[in-house]
């Protein structure tokens, strides 16, 4: 090291460090979709940076898809909505990739149930004969929780699925290991708040 060289000379640029701090706040849920991120002036005063650096921070957030700039109003946390075509059967992984996001999955629970399972979906009563696997997973995009799902999978149709990597795409597992191609999906969706208890 040259004499007098600052230790933090090789640290990431200031704008990059600040943008990552804001992204971390978004991921923790401190800055919710639709909420304004710190303005250029707020960044300048809080972090003691130049106008150019502040603009780079906001550009970094926008470029990464974390925020959207509204002319004359400010920069806001982007809504992490995912459009799903009703005439196409895609899993969460494929949907996220098409939306330009990095998908990931955390397995929350896996249980083998012996009794039959009956559920009403879209007004239609459906019964899955036991034994079946009940699989609970947390689905994330760019590290942000998007949904908590529960899957019920017949042990007869998918024997030994508990030995597969259930944090990968289930559709891929169905096709690769059980030669199952889905032609119809019936699902029930509801809005829930994913708090820290799911992590």
pLDDT at 144: 81
pLDDT at 47: 94
Tokens, residue 198: 């799911």
Domain 11-77 CATH class label: mainly alpha
- Could you report the per-residue pLDDT of 40-69, keeping only the tens digit for each? 999 999 999 999 999 999 998 888 788 888
- pLDDT in the model for residue 90: 56
- Nearest by Cα to 107 from 150, 77, 156, 45: 150
CATH 1.10.10.10 region(s) of the chain?
11-77
Q: What's the rounded Cα separation, in Å, for the pair 177 and 18?
A: 45
Spatial contact of 76 and 39, defined as CB atoms under 8 Å apart: no
> Residue holding tokens 């990431």?
12
**How big is the chain, counted in residues?**
199
Low-confidence ranges of the chain (pLDDT < 70): 1-11, 80-90, 98-99, 122-123, 184-199
| Torsions phi, psi for 82 (to 5 deg) | -125, 125
Q: Say which CATH superfamily domain 92-186 falls into.
A: Chorismate lyase-like (3.40.1410.10)
Terminal-to-terminal C-alpha distance of the chain = 42
Give pLDDT tens digits for 170-187.
888 998 999 988 776 666
pLDDT at residue 70 in the model = 87
Domain(s) labelled CATH 3.40.1410.10 in the chain stretch across 92-186
Question: Which two three-digit tokens encode residue 163?
Answer: 């030995």
Q: Does pTM top 0.75 for this prediction?
A: no
């Amino acid at each position: 090291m040259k004499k007098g060289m600052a230790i933090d000379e090789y640290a990431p640029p200031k704008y990059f460090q600040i943008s990552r701090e804001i992204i971390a706040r978004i991921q923790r849920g401190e800055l919710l979709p639709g909420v304004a991120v710190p303005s250029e002036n707020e960044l300048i005063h809080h972090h003691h940076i130049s106008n150019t650096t502040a603009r780079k921070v906001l550009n970094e957030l926008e470029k990464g898809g974390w925020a959207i700039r509204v002319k004359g109003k400010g920069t806001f946390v982007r809504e992490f909505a995912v459009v799903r075509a009703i005439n196409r059967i895609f899993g969460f992984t494929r949907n996220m990739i098409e939306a330009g996001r990095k998908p990931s999955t955390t397995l929350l629970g896996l249980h083998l149930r012996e009794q039959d399972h009956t559920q009403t979906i879209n007004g239609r009563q459906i019964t899955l004969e036991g034994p079946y696997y009940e699989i609970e997973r947390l689905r994330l995009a760019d590290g942000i929780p998007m949904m908590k799902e529960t899957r019920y999978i017949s042990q007869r149709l998918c024997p030994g699925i508990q030995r597969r990597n259930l944090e990968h795409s289930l559709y891929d597992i169905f096709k690769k290991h059980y030669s199952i191609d889905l032609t119809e999906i019936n699902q029930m969706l509801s809005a829930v708040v994913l708090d820290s208890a799911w992590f």
